[in-house]
Amino acid sequence: MLCRAALTCGVIVALPALVAAADGQGPTPSIFAPVSTPAFAIREIAFFVLGITGAIFIVVAGVTLYTMVRYRRRADDSGSEPPQVYGSMRIELAWTVVPFLIVVVLFLVTARYIWGIERYPQPPGAVEVTIVGNQWWWEIRYPKLGIVTANELHVPVSDPARPTPTFITLESADVIHSFWVPQLAGKMDVIPNKTNRVWVDPTTPGTYVGQCAEYCGLQHALMLLIVVVHPREEFDRWVAAQQAVARDDPAASRGRELFASLACISCHTVRGTTANGVFGPDLTHLMSRWTIGAGAARNTPENLRAWVDDPSALKSGALMPAMKLSRRDLDTLTAYLVTLR
């Protein structure tokens, strides 16, 4: 019993820590630190449910504890059996009907939130994005803007007065993945042969992290996603930069020729060149991204060189093969890749 008390204390001590972590504007993707309309709505209903279940816990655990203490066998126990009570229709009916009524209320509230979030109509100013899950990276397409990128979703901040939410179509190229950026919205699975939709409506600019939430094979743990929420003008600038074809730096022309002569082009696209492969991430603006390998490493020239040399050294099992290049070729190729800003 002492332990139970200690346990309850533990929960009470742990809770503020949890809330503190939730409030902190850090890279902790807490579901209680939402910045987008659907995530706000979920936190609302979560607090409602936590309130109800918390109250039930306190009452039932309290009665249990009281019963255990009050009716423990005493030292002066006579050894005769206590009065036998076989049941009571009235009491049992009460503790059937009351929980049933709680369930009805809970269900009605739940249904309202399900409908509210799932049936939210797409307003005219919405940004449309298609995200394709791959083992183990995200392809991110803006069909109306003509942009293809990877592992980083850029969206404009949404003004509550004139919302510009982002509507995301989810598709998978191989197995099931799940799109999840906790501060923006709940999960939506990314399923081959099935098109799913999810929407986010971020109200605070910033950078938010998420990652694949359905086991998808070997590197499920390294399938991270970064969402950058820009102020509107910044977003427009980002769009313009991404729409441009790849920069053609004469200083890196040897590297570009090497790139075009190797197997790189059968999987990667660099817009404005002959490279138009579709199996791997679009590299047109490779250096605008923060990480390589969907979060496997920071996107620095050294890491990039190591990645091209042998991706599995940074992310074992990555589907890109080791290129087995000479040191000089590696340097030349890296020199070209870092011009793709």
Partner 1 sequence: MSVLTPTMTSPEAAGARRALLERLHDWVVTVDHKRLGIMYVVAGFGFLVIAGAEATMMRVQLAWPGLHVVSPETFNRLFTMHGTTMVFLFGIPVVFGFGNYLVPLMIGARDLAFPRLNAFGFWAFLFGGLLLHFSVIGGDGLYGAGSAPAVGWFAYAPLTGRAFTPGNATDYWNLSILVTGIGTIATAVNLVTTTLTMRGPGMTLGRLPIFVWVMLTVSAMTLVILPPLSAAQIMLLLDRYLGAHFFDTQAGGSAVMWQHFFWFFGHPEVYVLMLPGFGFVSEIIPVFSRKVIFGYATIVAATVSIGAVSLSVWAHHMFAVGMGAPLNSFFALSTMLIAVPTGIKIFNWLATMYGGSLRFETPMLFCCAFLFQFLCAGLTGVMLGVAPFNWQLTDTYFVVAHFHFVLVGSLLFTIFAAIYYWFPKVTGRMLSERLGRWHFWLLVIGFNMTFITMHGQGVLGMPRRIYTYQADRGWEIWNLVTTLGVPLQIVAVLLFVVNVIVSLRSGQRAGDDPWDAWTLEWATTSPPPPYNFETVPVTTSRRPLWDLKHPDDPDGPHE
CB of 143 to partner 1, least distance (A): 20
Residue ranges in 279-308 that form contacts with partner 1 under rule CB under 8 A = 295
Of the candidate residues 5, 9, 51, 56, the single one contacting partner 1 (CB under 8 A): 56
Dihedrals φ, ψ of 217, to 5°?
A: 115, -165
What angle, 0 to 180 degrees and rounded to 10, lies between the N-to-C axes of helices 89-118 and 37-70?
Answer: 160
User: Is residue 232 involved in binding partner 1 (CB under 8 A)?
Assistant: no
CB of 185 to partner 1, least distance (A): 8
CB of 259 to partner 1, least distance (A): 29
User: Is residue 111 involved in binding partner 1 (CB under 8 A)?
Assistant: yes
Q: What is the DSSP letter of 159?
A: B
CB of 321 to partner 1, least distance (A): 17
User: Is residue 321 involved in binding partner 1 (CB under 8 A)?
Assistant: no
- Candidates 122-130, 140-148, 192-200, 332-340: pick the segment binding partner 1 (CB under 8 A): 192-200
User: Is residue 317 involved in binding partner 1 (CB under 8 A)?
Assistant: yes
Distance CA(333)–CA(341), nearest Å, equals 15
Of the candidate residues 5, 9, 49, 322, the single one contacting partner 1 (CB under 8 A): 49
Residue ranges in 143-182 that form contacts with partner 1 under rule CB under 8 A = 174-176, 178, 180, 182
Q: Which residues contact 301 (CB under 8 A, 6 or more apart)?
A: 334, 338
Q: How far is CA 113 from CA 119, 163, 187, 196, in A?
A: 10, 19, 15, 18
- Candidates 35-43, 140-148, 241-249, 259-267: pick the segment binding partner 1 (CB under 8 A): 35-43
User: Is residue 22 involved in binding partner 1 (CB under 8 A)?
Assistant: yes
Identify the burial level of 88 via C-beta atoms within 10 angstroms of its C-beta, where 0-12 means exposed, 13-18 middle and 19 or more buried.
exposed
User: Is residue 261 involved in binding partner 1 (CB under 8 A)?
Assistant: no
For partner 1, give the closer residue by CB, 103 or 263. 103
What does the per-residue mask of binding to partner 1 show for 122-141, with x meaning CB under 8 A?
-------------x------
Distance CA(199)–CA(184), nearest Å, equals 9
Strand partners, 227: 153, 208
Q: Please, are residues 320 and 326 in contact by the beta-carbon 8 Å criterion?
A: no
Q: Please, are residues 293 and 315 in contact by the beta-carbon 8 Å criterion?
A: yes
- Candidates 48-56, 144-152, 232-240, 271-279: pick the segment binding partner 1 (CB under 8 A): 48-56
For partner 1, give the closer residue by CB, 50 or 241. 50
Cα torsion at 240, 246, 252, 258 (round to 10°)? 160
User: Is residue 37 involved in binding partner 1 (CB under 8 A)?
Assistant: no
